[in-house]
Amino acid sequence: MPAYQARPALNIRCWACREPSRRTWMCSEELAATQMSVKELKIALDDRGVSWRGVCFERTELEAALTRAQEAGPGSEADDAGRQEDLGGEEGASASVKAASTLADEEARYAAAYEAGLARASCLRVKEIRTELAARSIGWATLFEKSELAATLAAAYARAALFSSSGALEPGSARSLNAEQLRQEMQDGRTPMLLDVYATWCGPCKLLAPQLEQLAAELGSSCRVAKLDSDAEPQLSTELRVAGLPTLIFLRGDGSQLSEAFRVEGVPGNAAALRQLVVQHLEV
């Protein structure tokens, strides 16, 4: 596929000259990923045949994916296909078909979630969109059009919908859940979950809180980090056999639901020790 090709008129700027008049990709130089808007990043990835839906949720992830594609140069997709063929025989073909099917399902789910999120975000005022983005620690200072703000918020909505079955959790953040939300999350075994059962009056729980936030930021979409207030949800705390606070429960998914892999009471040393427990018991 050529590096650039003419497209129908679109309301975005040319990558190289940044002029909106012609709105084509026929310029001789390609901008770095960091110089493109989110919309331009997505179009550039599509042009290169790089899948990003359901995979890249943040601007930084889109930039990284495009940078890798730019560095790989033309033919990288063919090389990937060749490596798939090296798997050989029916086993390799079966693995390829399964991977393609899974990716297609993820892309379809993301597309549906994004469209729903875009409809929801478009109904908000600009100030409301910016407030929601700020609450999610998503920068909006470089987004000037409402359409760009709405698209960014829609991506955040879609990310939450795919990552969390209850919609209450987001990648990179530790959130408190009520009993109904936690039960719903535990029926979703697509990604593992670290659960912190705490109390607002508990001193060690307060010490653990910043470690959980740091860990959640490091884990991103590979693991859900949830919290449960034992005083607000005593029945569920009893069902979870919580005897001391804080209690960390490591839940591993099998694709359909979660099951307990390990638990520890108290603060497990420092952030590095907590991260090691996650690696050991949740394999992320």
Q: Is 211 exposed, middle or buried (0-12, 13-18, 19+ CB in 10 A)?
A: buried
Given CA atoms 177, 179, 183, 184 in this order, what sign does their dihedral have?
negative
From the candidates 14, 27, 123, 205, give the one annotated as an active-site residue: 205
Instruction: Enter the DSSP assignment of 4.
Output: -
Cα dist. 8→11, 29, 241 in Å? Answer: 10, 20, 61
Cis peptide before 246 (omega within 30 of 0): yes
* Known active-site residue 123: no
DSSP-assigned beta bridge partners for residue 195 = 226, 249
- Tell me the β-bridge partners of 252: 259
- CB proximity list for 220: less than 8 A, separation 6 or greater: 171, 172
Phi, psi of 260 (to 5 degrees): -70, 130
Single-letter code of the amino acid located at 215: L
Tokens 């005593």 map to which residue?
A: 234
Examine the residue annotation and report whether 56 is marked as an active-site residue of this protein: no
Please answer whether residues 151 and 115 qualify as being in contact, where contact means their C-beta atoms are separated by less than 8 angstroms: no
Structure letter (DSSP) for residue 50: -
Query: Known catalytic residues?
Result: 202, 205
